[in-house]
Amino acid sequence: MVLLGALINAGLIVAGALVGRIFKNIPESMKSTVLSIIGLAVALLGIKMGFESDNFIILVVSLVVGTVVGEWLDLDRQMNRLGKWVETLFHTKRNAQNQISIAEGFVTASLIFVVGSMAVIGALDSGLRNDHNVLITKGLIDGFTSIILASTLGIGVLLSAVPVFIYQGLIALFAGVISLFIPDAALQMFITEMTAVGGVMIMAIGLNIAGLTKIKAANLLPGIIVVGVMVAIFYIFQ
């Protein structure tokens, strides 16, 4: 089953988020401190990923151009609107603060779980070799992370399982086509640079969680598409 890895990954996120809600009643002072530490840890992960880039030009151009496109489309606002809309499917009465919390949890968790090399590599393994080990491993990591995020950011973290499944599932389904048209060297270059660009996005998310910045991290997402264009140009003319 090609989609098994993506399905398990999404399921572990849901399970982790449900477990995390059990610990939702921790004191506010403890929750604030824990949330700040989580943010710093996520930022550190992003910094580590960012250092994987082999070409600083691709990294910078992808982030700058991608951010310009993201700001123009205002993806951050669109994702928050989506989070609030999904929330209305589950509740009819709530205050504005709860709406923001669920939307924030959905957007933050979606970005953390979708951006990264394990998602791409794992989905390709599922599609090409029917090997789901990478996505299952990623699912275990995501599940543990969702426990922590859900305990502080709310049930919106659970909803992130949907874009994770769609994103990884589509890559798995089209893996055969991807391997036919993209040389392995170019694909490896893309994964490396995408990991670095994704690392900067995750660092921004971490700093936001810690309350140190207010970067619209979702507006950086087009940078991943720009990475593909830049890698193609460099691969052709190198």
Query: Helix, strand or coil for residue 73?
Result: helix
Predicted local confidence at residue 161, as pLDDT = 94
The two tokens of residue 80 are: 């928050």
Identify the pLDDT of residue 100: 43
Q: Which whole number is the average pLDDT over 142-150?
A: 87
- Write out pLDDT tens, residues 52-103: 899 999 999 999 999 999 999 988 888 777 767 766 765 544 444 444 467 7
Domain that holds residue 53: 4-237
What is the spatial distance between Cα 73 and Cα 183, in angstroms, rounded to a whole number?
A: 31
The predicted model scores a pTM of 0.75
For residue 91, the model assigns a pLDDT of 57
Q: What pLDDT does 86 receive?
A: 66
* Whole-number pLDDT of residue 73: 92
* Residue 93, pLDDT score: 45
Residue 188 CA to residue 121 CA, distance in Å, equals 9
Q: What is the pLDDT of residue 59?
A: 94
User: 51: which 2 tokens?
Assistant: 């250092």
Q: Which of 12-26, 38-52, 162-176, 181-195 has the highest mean pLDDT?
A: 162-176
Q: 43-47, 108-112, 176-180: lowest mean pLDDT where?
A: 176-180
pLDDT reported for residue 95: 45
Q: What is the 3-state secondary structure (H, E, C) of the chain?
A: CCCHHHHHHHHHHHHHHHHHHHCCCCCHHHHHHHHHHHHHHHHHHHHHHHCCCCCHHHHHHHHHHHHHHHHHHCHHHHHHHHHHHHHHCCCCCCCHHHHHHHHHHHHHHHHHHHCCHHHHHHHHHHHHHCCCHHHHHHHHHHHHHHHHHHHHHCCHHHHCHHHHHHHHHHHHHCHHHHHHHCCHHHHHHHHHHHHHHHHHHHHHHHHHHCCCCCCCHHHHCHHHHHHHHHHHHHHHHC
Give me the number of domains the chain comprises: 1
Average model confidence (pLDDT) for the chain? 84
pLDDT at site 68: 96
CB 170 within 8 A of CB 9: no
Distance CA 99, CA 24 (A): 16
